[in-house]
Amino acid sequence: MENRILLKARDLMVLNGVRYVTMDDLATQLGISKKTIYQFYKDKEALVLAVVELELDEQKIMCQRSQATADNALHEMFMLLADIQEMFKKMNPLTVMEIHKYFPEAFKKIQEHKDRFMHNVVKTNLLKGIEQGVYRKDIDPEILTIYRIETSLITFNTQFFPLSKFNLGNVNVQIMEHYIYGIVSPEGLRLLNQYKHEASSKNELVEDNQFIKN
């Protein structure tokens, strides 16, 4: 039951935003009483914290999968970009900023994840890419790690990117592609264009198959 509550809470918060999902909403969706929810989570803050920890654990798995299966450091980055794009399609863009504003303990977990785990992922990727020749040899891995990590959250800042003007998924892609194009070597650029062409062909095939089914 605890896992069922957690997964449904995650679905609702990702879709609708954290602030507007109440314990009443969750109980109704699950067909249970609020008392049952409180047996596992003492309040909404505890539930939000658990949802954030679940998301961060899944992000770790996503990163580790890319590290294990990618052909090289650039391919790993490209795979992560594709995963992030899928995540944005399902996500209410206000979610992270709401956590920042209303749930400080949960946001602290996000900061710790960013400053420790993601810092290590990005820096390791840069060092590997330099060694493999797909990234430029003259870049500073530590400076660019900090740059990449800190620009990852700016996507969610509606002061800079108001939702009335911007699709935050597109904003994230633009920022990440800017980062990638800035670090690739000539060989990396060749591979990047190859990966983009392959992804485009795959998307066209999926769209064609959906059209045939319809």
Chain segment 96-137, per-residue pLDDT in tens: 889 988 999 999 999 999 999 999 999 999 999 999 999 999
Structural domains in the chain, sorted by start: 56-213 (1.10.357)
Give the tens place of pLDDT for each residue, 10-29.
999 988 889 889 999 999 99
DSSP letter string, 151-180: HHHHTT-TTTS-TTT--HHHHHHHHHHHHH
Q: Is the pLDDT of residue 205 over 50?
A: no
**pLDDT above 70 (res 210):** no
| The pLDDT of residue 171 is above 60 | yes
Mean pLDDT of the chain: 88
The greatest distance separating any two alpha carbons of the chain, rounded to the nearest whole angstrom, comes to: 60
Q: Exposure pattern of 31-43 as b/e (b: 16+ CB <10 Å)?
A: eeeeeebeeebee
Sign of CA dihedral 112, 113, 116, 122: negative
Contact 34, 24 (CB under 8 A): yes
Q: Is the pLDDT of residue 209 over 50?
A: no
Residue 214 has pLDDT above 50, yes or no: no
pLDDT confidence of residue 154 = 87
- 170 pLDDT higher than 70: yes
Question: Does position 185 have pLDDT exceeding 90, yes or no?
Answer: yes
Question: What is the structure's pLDDT at 146?
Answer: 94
Given pLDDT bands bounded at 50, 70 and 90, which one contains residue 199? confident
Residue 150 exposed, middle or buried by CB count within 10 Å (0-12, 13-18, 19+)? exposed
- Residue of 154 and 202 predicted with greater confidence: 154
